[in-house]
Amino acid sequence: MNRNRMLALPVAVAIALGATACTGTSSGGSDDPIVIGSTLPLTGPLQAFGTSLQTGYQHAVDEVNAAGGLEIDGQKRQVELVVQDNASAGDTASEQARDLVLDKGAVALLGPATPPLSIPVSVAADQLKVPTVITITPIQAWKGGAPDGWKYSFDLFFDEIQMTDTQFQAADLVATNKKVALFTDQEEDGIVMGGLWADKAPTFGYQIVAHEQFPVGNTNFTSQVAEAKSSGAQVVIAQVIPPDGVALLREMKAQGYQPEVVFLEKAGDTGGYAGISDGLADGTLAANWFAAGIGTDREQEFIDAYSADAGGVNADLGTIVYGYSAAQVLLEAISAAGSLDADAIRDAIAKTDGDYPAGAIDFDDEHAAPLPAVQTQWVGNDQVLVLDGSGDAANPITAPVPGLG
Amino acid sequence: MEPVIQGILLGGLYATTALGLSLVFGVIRMVNLAHGDVLMVGAYLTSLLVVALGADPLLLAIPAAVIVGAVAYPLQRFVLNPLVVHSAEAPITATFGISVVIQSLLLLAFTSNPRTINAPYSSASVEIAGVHLRASLLIALAAAVVLVVVLDALLNRTRFGRQVKASAIDPDAAGLVGINLGHTYAVVFAIAAAVATIGGTLIALSFSVDPVGGTTWLLRAFTVVVIGGLGSIRGTLAGGLIVGVVESVGAVLVGAQYRDVVVFGILVVVLLARPNGLFTRAVRA
Amino acid sequence: MTSQLPRMLRYGIPMVVTAALIGGADAMTRGAANQLTGLLLLACLAMAWNLVSGFAGQFSLGHSIFVGVGGYATAVLLDYLELPLILVVLAAGVVSALVGVILAYPMLRLRGPYFAIGTLGIALAVRGWMLNWDVTRASRGYPIPPESLLDIATLLRVAALLALITLVTALAIKESSLGLRLIALRDNEDGAASVGVRRVRSVVPTWAISAMLTGMLGAVIALQNGNLTPNSAFSIQYTLDAVVVCVIGGLGTLSGPLLGAVIVFVLRQYTADFAGWASLLEAVVVILVVRFFPDGAVGVIVRVRGLIRSRLRSRDAGAPREKAGRA
């Protein structure tokens, strides 16, 4: 009996597999659809972003197809959106980005959400020279992923530098003792934003009296909340993932800590968060990218079409809008280029300058299009606009935070 | 001083979540890598019952525990028992597989969003001498004590308990005197799963649960069990309190951002120093 | 008792195959090269893990540490120095081996389930530490310089070479006295001790070699992905993959990890669109395999061949039946 001979067997199988492994359609034929790929977090902690982006992307693709498709080299071709689920994992996103281009024949990519996913996809896109449009990814964090700048990837979303102003601008609209307690997690954006808030507070006349840091996935906030409460801060700014946000709110309620305003960033941008937290998040604020009254192109159309799906006018709806806009930018660029040449499409994207449902999109030299962050407050299942994109008050803020009362 | 008190409260919860692991290891000599996930399952099941029936979560935790135990029995009897006999590694692999199965199922059935169970006392606290004691953790501490007493009584004062102890001390001899080892092991596993359900419910009341949170709880429970002495029910209570206090104080000293490192660091240190536990009154070495 | 392929073929066949892959890397489509690379890297992971968990019988749940260390070592090295590819990968492997040795003495005092949980605990502790360590940019991503990233064809070549090295190492260990000592320790530690087989002397080198190979794998993955975060580089998914592949293929055997890698890889092509179900399916298969086919796919093949052989033999009346044994 010869087990060692069996080595030849799997190796031979591997070769055979490899040779026939190419399961993708090569996008050479003129009747084949144009494939746009997207690796999205359809499951996992970022699921809400992934599914909303998919809805937005698909909406744009369907619209283009209904109008006859895109004209490439003189011929109209339909567009096909191919989506894969990366389960919110960065290395899976990398792998799938490569698969989509090499196997499924994608000529362009639409991005996932958040830096841990978007950066790996951008890396793959630049390596494979495939134009990619990304959203729901703060711009500074995204730029930080490419020391020499991105070559084929583009990002349209808010810039943290402007976004970290909005908390103070909104807090100005309410009477507080100007003392701030910060709660930031140790993910990339927690550290970046924590630093920005700490730097900016004095310029707005605020004082950081407590800065609590904790690992992502922390559920025990006993000592941190006790510290924040005893510091007397009436303004709380937190950058947490949804589960940690719930734990934080619970602990605050248990210790009877009810600030005037609580900014629950990142967690608060999950649709239905008020429900998930069983009402504890009612009245918390969060920076947002879309809300009723924001005044962008086709605002009401999207609200009517999707607020039922999103469970309200909230961040999920905003993500659908941004996803649609990103796809629209990409599709228009392909159309403008009139060919599937990567450089031509890339150059066309770079020239984008117009009004979209997400706002006015104009890419700078580093391929980033900053869109203004606004502040919204959770009222039931909606996130109501309280501070608009220019830093002016919109609807009045309810204070102190009702959910913690 | 306050971190110590908070640590003791936490410790009560930790002890409750570790009891099942201790029982299984003490009697069956099996490390159930899926234990943390059973905690999560218990929490989700109770949560579903609460949503469906609206009664008090702690009350509903009992039928939930029975259901989980009923599922655990055949799992041990027909899948894991043969492996325990086969080798020491096979149950590790199998329970690892079960852990992944549970996590995958939970992810598919629910989203990865955190789940909490709410009751009037879940966010309430009692203030004593300026220290806020969370009501849910006080309940967990009480539950730990009650469970330890009950399990102790079960093991030491019932006939079944004597059979269990005999099976733990010398499985072959136990088989010879007519004890049905397969059935005994399965019942112990079911009891462990039932207790874990209660533990999971308490976690969901105090903090939150999510489909993949089981792993961290497994490691913590393992730390508790190793400190307290494998198979020692009372030791588990002591172990829980110790881990709770060390974690609490450690987080304050080192900074909460290193909490993970503290938790798992304690585990590793204890494993290295005293693999048999600090209070070894081993049922068998 | 067992007839073996001549040594030349045992080492020669993998070398020929690797040479074919290296030579043909440019000839095949990028898609096929990409797929093959994925398969080879999965096989490397499984084979390296198998050295410790299969050959030495110490079920490690902490190998993700080495993948991460290898990856970060690569990123840090390339950040400060310009080194040729081979040196970087080797250096990453060496760093990883060093970490392995540091961990070996504490960890290898543990056995069985304690070892499993201990390694899992260390893996999570290391990840927790890396999330805070500013030297490696904590939780912010650590990019690899774009000019160092490898193109698809080069990646395939590197992956094939690494697979060859890993396989040859496993072969060499198995056939050496080290391999014999490991088997002795795994199957009967007290008996082994009584003939002078010292546990530490045998297991530590194996662990270090496994760490080195896994670290080199981590380096290649880093060069493929171009950006590292503690959560991606130290992901528990690597541990999961190693376990699933080796158990399905046949833990502790030589060709088990390879066969398992092929099976799992093919399976994943079909479950690619249902990622959540894929994990579930693989885990269920693992449980079934452990319960009913503890020797994995290799064990099944061996049994089938044994059955066929004994059928053939009993057709020639009078020929003695050969007992099927485990090599």
Domain spans of chain B, in order of start: 2-273
**Rg for chain A, CA atoms, rounded:** 23
Q: Please give, rounded to a whole number of angstroms, the shortest distance from the CA of C249 to a CA of chain B.
A: 14
First to last CA, chain A: 75
Report the mean per-residue pLDDT for chain A.
88
Bridge partners of B129?
none
Please state at what angle helix B57-74 crosses helix B181-206, rounded to 10 degrees: 150
Q: Where are the alpha helices (DSSP H) in chain C?
A: 7-24, 30-50, 64-80, 85-107, 112-130, 152-175, 177-187, 189-194, 199-225, 230-233, 236-249, 256-271, 275-292, 296-315
Most confident of B188-197, B199-208, C112-121: B188-197
Is A153 in the same domain as A178? no
Tell me how many degrees the CA angle C15-C21-C27 measures, rounded to the nearest 5: 155
The percentage of chain A sitting over the pLDDT mark of 90, rounded to a whole number, equals 60
**How many domains does chain A divide into?**
2
Residue A10 banded pLDDT, cuts 50, 70, 90: low
Please indicate whether, in this complex, the C-beta atoms of A4 and C28 are within 8 angstroms of each other: no
On the question of pLDDT at C140 being above 90, the answer is: no
Most confident of B40-44, B243-247, C304-308: B40-44
**C-alpha to C-alpha distance for A4 and C167, rounded to whole angstroms:** 12
**C-alpha to C-alpha distance for A171 and A260, rounded to whole angstroms:** 9
Read off the CATH number of the domain in which C131 is found: 1.10.3470
Is A261 in the same domain as A399? yes
Q: Which residues of A touch C229 (CB under 8 A)?
A: 90, 116, 188
Nearest to C4 among A4, A124, A145 (CB): A4
pLDDT score of C216 = 97
Residue C326 banded pLDDT, cuts 50, 70, 90: very low
For residue A43, is it within any domain? yes
**A86 CB within 8 Å of a chain B CB:** no
Q: Please give, rounded to a whole number of angstroms, the shortest distance from the CA of A186 to a CA of chain C.
A: 6
For residue A2, is it within any domain? no
Burial call C177-210: b when 16+ CB within 10 Å, e when fewer:
ebbebbbbbbeeeeebeeeebebeebbbbbbbbb
For residue A102, is it within any domain? yes
Neighbours of chain B (3+ CB pairs under 8 A): A, C
**A5 CB within 8 Å of a chain C CB:** yes
**A222 CB within 8 Å of a chain B CB:** yes
Is A238 in the same domain as A384? yes
On the question of pLDDT at C5 being above 90, the answer is: no
Most confident of A107-111, C296-300, C318-322: A107-111
Nearest to A215 among B111, B122, B257 (CB): B257
Report the mean per-residue pLDDT for chain C.
86
The percentage of chain C sitting over the pLDDT mark of 90, rounded to a whole number, equals 38
Is A250 in the same domain as A382? yes
Q: What is the mean pLDDT of residues B53-77?
A: 93
Neighbours of chain C (3+ CB pairs under 8 A): A, B
On the question of pLDDT at A374 being above 90, the answer is: yes
Per-residue pLDDT tens for A68-115? 999 888 889 999 999 999 988 888 899 999 999 998 999 999 999 998
Structure tokens at B251: 């987080």
Q: What is the mean pLDDT of residues A233-244?
A: 90
Per-residue pLDDT tens for A386-405? 999 888 888 989 889 888 88
Q: What is the domain range of residue C19?
A: 4-277
Residue B30 banded pLDDT, cuts 50, 70, 90: confident
Nearest chain B residue to C124 by CA distance is B264
pTM attached to this predicted model: 0.86
Q: Between residues A158 and C29, which one has the greater pLDDT? A: A158
Please indicate whether, in this complex, the C-beta atoms of A188 and C306 are within 8 angstroms of each other: no
* Architecture, CATH, for domain B2-273: Orthogonal Bundle (1.10)
**Cβ under 8 Å to B: A residues 21-50:** 43-45, 47
Q: Which residues of C touch A21 (CB under 8 A)?
A: 31-32, 35-36
Read off the CATH number of the domain in which A116 is found: 3.40.50.2300
Q: What is the mean pLDDT of residues C99-108?
A: 87
On the question of pLDDT at A211 being above 90, the answer is: yes
Query: CA–CA distance from B130 to each of A210, A255, B133, C232 (Å)?
Result: 20, 11, 9, 43
Burial classification of residue B178, based on how many CB atoms lie within 10 Å of its CB (0-12 exposed, 13-18 middle, 19 or more buried): exposed
Is A279 in the same domain as A396? yes
- Secondary structure class of A2 (helix, strand, coil): coil
Number of H helices, E strands in chain B: 12, 2
pLDDT score of A30 = 58
On the question of pLDDT at B277 being above 80, the answer is: no
pLDDT score of C145 = 87
Is A96 in the same domain as A26? yes
Please indicate whether, in this complex, the C-beta atoms of C325 and A1 are within 8 angstroms of each other: yes
Please indicate whether, in this complex, the C-beta atoms of A120 and C132 are within 8 angstroms of each other: no
**A226 CB within 8 Å of a chain B CB:** yes
**Cβ under 8 Å to C: A residues 19-48:** 19-24, 42-43
- Secondary structure class of A26 (helix, strand, coil): coil
Q: What is the mean pLDDT of residues C78-104?
A: 92
Q: Which residues of A touch B10 (CB under 8 A)?
A: 220
pLDDT score of B119 = 85
First to last CA, chain B: 37
Per-residue pLDDT tens for B105-132? 998 898 777 788 888 887 788 888 777 7
Please indicate whether, in this complex, the C-beta atoms of C17 and A21 are within 8 angstroms of each other: no
- Contacts of residue A60, defined as CB under 8 A and 6 or more positions apart, other chains included, come to A323, A324, A325, A327, A328, A331
Please indicate whether, in this complex, the C-beta atoms of B113 and A243 are within 8 angstroms of each other: yes
Nearest to C243 among B96, B216, B223 (CB): B96
Q: Closest by alpha carbon to C278, among A85, B225, A248, B266?
A: A85
On the question of pLDDT at B282 being above 50, the answer is: no
Q: Between residues C97 and C306, which one has the greater pLDDT? A: C97
On the question of pLDDT at B220 being above 50, the answer is: yes
* Residue in B25, B30, B93, B103 to test binding to C, most C beta-carbons within 10 Å: B93
Q: Which residues of B touch C127 (CB under 8 A)?
A: 260
Please indicate whether, in this complex, the C-beta atoms of C280 and B260 are within 8 angstroms of each other: no
Please indicate whether, in this complex, the C-beta atoms of B101 and C236 are within 8 angstroms of each other: no
Please indicate whether, in this complex, the C-beta atoms of A147 and C145 are within 8 angstroms of each other: yes
**A188 CB within 8 Å of a chain C CB:** yes
**B268 CB within 8 Å of a chain C CB:** yes
pLDDT score of C87 = 93
pLDDT score of C249 = 93
Please indicate whether, in this complex, the C-beta atoms of A99 and C34 are within 8 angstroms of each other: yes
Give the range among A307-311, B178-182, C275-279 with minimum mean pLDDT. Answer: C275-279
Is A30 in the same domain as A142? yes
For residue A12, is it within any domain? no
On the question of pLDDT at B254 being above 90, the answer is: no
**C-alpha to C-alpha distance for C116 and C110, rounded to whole angstroms:** 9
For residue A357, is it within any domain? yes
Please indicate whether, in this complex, the C-beta atoms of C10 and A4 are within 8 angstroms of each other: yes
Q: What is the domain range of residue A274?
A: 161-291+374-404
For residue C325, is it within any domain? no
Structure tokens at A234: 């009436």
Per-residue pLDDT tens for A252-269? 988 889 999 999 998 888
Per-residue pLDDT tens for C174-191? 888 888 888 887 777 777
Q: Which residues of A touch B252 (CB under 8 A)?
A: 223
**How many domains does chain C divide into?**
1
**B75 CB within 8 Å of a chain C CB:** no
* Residue in B132, B203, B217 to test binding to A, most A beta-carbons within 10 Å: B132
On the question of pLDDT at B284 being above 50, the answer is: no
For residue C12, is it within any domain? yes
Please indicate whether, in this complex, the C-beta atoms of C284 and B97 are within 8 angstroms of each other: yes
On the question of pLDDT at A4 being above 70, the answer is: no
Q: Which residues of C touch A85 (CB under 8 A)?
A: 273, 275-276
Nearest to C121 among B259, B267, B275 (CB): B267
Q: Quote ipTM for the complex.
A: 0.85
Is A107 in the same domain as A203? no
Q: What is the mean pLDDT of residues B92-104?
A: 92
Q: Where are the alpha helices (DSSP H) in A235-314?
A: 242-254, 273-276, 299-310
Nearest to B93 among C122, C125, C247 (CB): C247
Please indicate whether, in this complex, the C-beta atoms of A144 and C140 are within 8 angstroms of each other: yes
First to last CA, chain C: 9
pLDDT score of A17 = 54
Please indicate whether, in this complex, the C-beta atoms of C35 and A187 are within 8 angstroms of each other: no
Please indicate whether, in this complex, the C-beta atoms of A1 and C309 are within 8 angstroms of each other: yes
Per-residue pLDDT tens for B138-160? 999 999 999 999 998 988 889 88
For residue C288, is it within any domain? no
On the question of pLDDT at B285 being above 60, the answer is: no
